[in-house]
Structure formats: C-alpha cells, structure tokens
Amino acid sequence: MLIAGFATGALQANCYVLALDEGAECVIVDPGEGALAYVKELVSDCSLRPVAAVLTHGHLDHAASLGAVCAEWAIPGYIHAADEYMLDDPMASLSPELRAMMAGQLMPNMRPADLRHLHPGADLCVAGLTLHVDHTPGHTGGGVVFRFDADVEAERPEVLLTGDTLFQGSIGRTDLPGGSMDELLLSLKTKLLTRPDDAMVLPGHGPSSTIGAERAENPFLANLA
C-alpha cells in the first residue's frame, strides 16, 4: 500500500494520498491550503489516477483545496453531512479571533461539483481500498476517522487517519463552533482507544504515532483507558 503525506498551508495540515501501489488509482485525504500542487506532483511522479477526495472534517485548513482537487480530475468529494455548511461558509467554523484575522481575505471555492456524504458505520470503497468510516464528533460535529484493516501478508498494521481528533501527544481543540469536549472524549474512548496498540495513527497535524504510544504517553487520554 502506498501512503504519502505532506503538510500544507499556514497551519501545516497534513494531506494524504493513498493507493494500492504506484500506477494505481488513489484517494486524496484532506486537501488543505495549497495542496493541489503537491498532489499533482505526486500523482505525476507515481503515475497515480485520483478517483476521490475525502475529508476528516470541514475546517478550512483541511478542505481549502477540495474544490480545486475535485475539479482537476473530475472526481467526487466526500464529507460528513454535519460539516457540509463549512464548505460554503468557512468563516462560520472559526473562532472570533480567527474571523477577525481573516476578514477581507478571498475564500476558496471548496464545494466540488460532485459532493457526496460519508455514512458512519458504512464502508467507502474507492481506489481498490476499503475505508471504514467512524464518526468521531468533538472537534467538529461531523468529524470522522478513516480506518484501514491490517494487512497480515504485507506486515502492515491497521491504519487510522484521525484528522483533528487525535494527535501525537494531544487531541483536537473543542472551543470552535460545533466543538464539544464531552463528545470528543467519548469519541476517543469508544472509537480510537478500542483499536490495537500497533495501529498506526496518521493525524491531521504533526508526526505519526501509534495507538499504543498514545495510550501510554498522551496526557489527554490518561483517564479514558
């Protein structure tokens, strides 16, 4: 399995490109600010064929290039219905301080021509991959984690794309519109701490980790296990 990740934009949000191998179809996860150029270079270098773009949540730093990426390859974009409003009004999901800071800035067109909803508990099968979609509200009302089963033959553990729900050593903020600390802690306890210790965590910001490392070292999870 090919997993490529790179940080983009002022907030250095992680965008991921996933495929079975080079020369195959691929899915793009969280194409944030300025992501299109990076994705185009990777697609060219690895002879990939994008077939879908998916969002862990609707915040601007993770979705700014969704419209552009989907238009570039005429592919659908996927988001949880509860976060769809952010594509049309990205300022609505920001804090008053961030709204003031960004006042007057031109917002990108984030809504793709073909927008589809993610359905938690159901699988999304794209690019020959099966993405399990787990609803993890807390950072936003429509936050999700994408989960890939372990591949025993390839000696690859389970993979979790956690967005802004779980980071190395931290968790997502809940002080933005739609955030809830109670919901976030419940999501962490029931959807992430139930995963195997060797499960790979690919977060929305910062370096990768494992569930075992976060269970042992993340101070925000200390009372949840």
pLDDT at residue 106, rounded to an integer: 64
117, pLDDT greater than 90: yes
pLDDT tens by residue, 62-77: 999 999 999 999 999 9
CA distance 41 to 95: 33
43: number of Cβ within 10 Å: 19
Name the pTM for this structure.
0.95
CA torsion sign, 158 to 213 to 218 to 3?
A: negative
pLDDT at residue 44, rounded to an integer: 98
Upper half-sphere CA count for residue 192 (Cβ side, 13 Å): 36
Number of domains in the chain: 1
CATH number for 139: 3.60.15.10
CA distance 147 to 123: 9
Residue range(s) defining the domain that contains residue 118 = 2-221
What is residue 56's DSSP assignment?
Answer: S
Strands 49-54 vs 25-29: parallel, antiparallel or unpaired: parallel
